[in-house]
Amino acid sequence: MSDRRVPDGGEVESPTVAITGAAGYIGSRVVDRLREIHPDWTITALDNMYRGQVDSIGDVDVDHVDIRNRRRLEDALEGADVVLHLAAVSGVDDCEDNADLAYEVNVSGTNNVAWFCRRTGAALVFPFSMAVLGDPETFPITADLPRGPMNWYGRTKLLGERAIESFAEGAFPAYMFMKSNLYGDHVVGETVVSKPTVTNFFADRAVAGEELTVYEPGTQSRNFVHVKDIAMAYVRGTERLLDALERGDTGTETYEIAGEEDPSVMSVAETVRELAREELGVDVDVTLVENPRGNETLVEDFTVDISKARTELDWEPRHTVAESVRELLRRRA
């Protein structure tokens, strides 16, 4: 156990924060924000580079560690007061195409991280997707809705959620973030760190002058939250988990981390088309195509209640889809 951590009360001095998946889309932004806001903290960055996009973030080098290797993982995490567990095989398609890997990383790897926290008392932040809900019937969406994942990605995240609930009880404090659909990008050094999310995909196609293809019926709604806003949720969560360690708290708290916009996919495409005309002077078509995914919700309302994150984490989404699309188009032009 770290001599800086006092699970049964007392102050955590000079905290060490470890981030798995630190070279990825979200993780690299989290490391960047932690360095900027808390320069006195020690940051441990880990990634196996499956989807990693950078080797370092400022003066923090990313150590090549695979969370499936428990011994190597525990050595790398030694001394951590808080672990931000972002390493995952994410997305419906990636998990379907690499089902064994998704199980090994999202389930077995998450168990390895949670076991380290139970053994040492380190606090934990774990993100899981709203894909665990499946086809929600009640709005606004909250974390206490019934679970009913419709795909392997959602199932692996549900298994991780349940495991952490069990591991954390009586042993360590854990915050679980139920995240909505991400968009946007950010810059690390000279690298633009991005991911082919719906909004980013549309922006890339608009810059290339290609039509924007929308899966039928097009009216399906999604809640969108910017990657930069997501990163700040991890910073706020870490700050409060350090307080939780001092109090000797254990068990899990779940927070809805989402944006304030839940447009239809068609309306997002139309926004990209209009802004591409304004910013780039290009005209692109928007076309409905057959939906190859029978394993996703088609609801037309996807509002999310983020009041708990606002109140308890002092977190607020600050980016909008329109302003972020402008930024994406300008950066890619």
Instruction: Grade residue 6 by pLDDT with cuts at 50, 70 and 90.
Output: low
Beta strand segments in the chain, E: 16-20, 42-47, 56-57, 60-64, 82-85, 123-129, 173-179, 181-183, 186-188, 191-193, 212-215, 224-226, 251-257, 286-289
Mean pLDDT within 305-324 = 97
**Tell me, what's the pLDDT at 122?**
98
Q: In the prediction, which pLDDT does 231 show?
A: 98
Over residues 51-68, the mean pLDDT reads 97
Is the predicted pLDDT of residue 297 greater than 80, yes or no?
Answer: yes
Amino acid 3: pLDDT:
41
pLDDT at 88 over 50: yes
CATH 3.40.50.720 is the classification of domain 16-182+225-257: yes
Q: Are strands 181-183 and 173-179 parallel, antiparallel or unpaired?
A: unpaired
In this predicted structure, the answer to whether residue 307 has a pLDDT above a threshold of 60 is yes
Q: Is pLDDT at 320 greater than 80 in this prediction?
A: yes
Domain with CATH 3.90.25.10 in the chain: 186-222+260-302+319-332
Predicted confidence (pLDDT) at residue 8 exceeds the cutoff of 70 = no
**What pLDDT digit, counting tens, does each position of 106-159 carry?**
999 999 999 999 999 999 999 999 999 999 999 999 999 999 999 999 999 999
The yes-or-no verdict on residue 171 having pLDDT over 80 is yes
Residue 13 neighbours by CB under 8 Å, 6+ apart:
4
Amino acid occupying residue 316: E
Question: Would you call 274 helix, strand, or coil by DSSP?
Answer: helix
pLDDT for the residue 57: 98
4 or 10: which leads in pLDDT: 10
Average pLDDT in the 172-185 region?
97
Q: Three-state SS across 86-101?
A: CCCCCCHHHHHHCHHH
Pinpoint the residues of the chain covered by CATH 3.40.50.720: 16-182+225-257
pLDDT for 332 equals 83
**Hey, how many other C-beta atoms are within 10 angstroms of the C-beta on 318?**
12
To the nearest 10°, report the CA torsion of 31, 37, 42, 43: 0
- Which residue has tokens 């005209």? 283
Cross-strand partners of 56: 61
**CB proximity list for 328: less than 8 A, separation 6 or greater:** 184, 185, 199, 200, 203
Q: What is the mean pLDDT of the chain?
A: 95
Give the pLDDT of residue 46.
Answer: 98
Query: CATH number of the domain at 186-222+260-302+319-332, out of 3.90.700.10, 3.40.50.720, 3.90.25.10, 3.40.449.10?
Result: 3.90.25.10
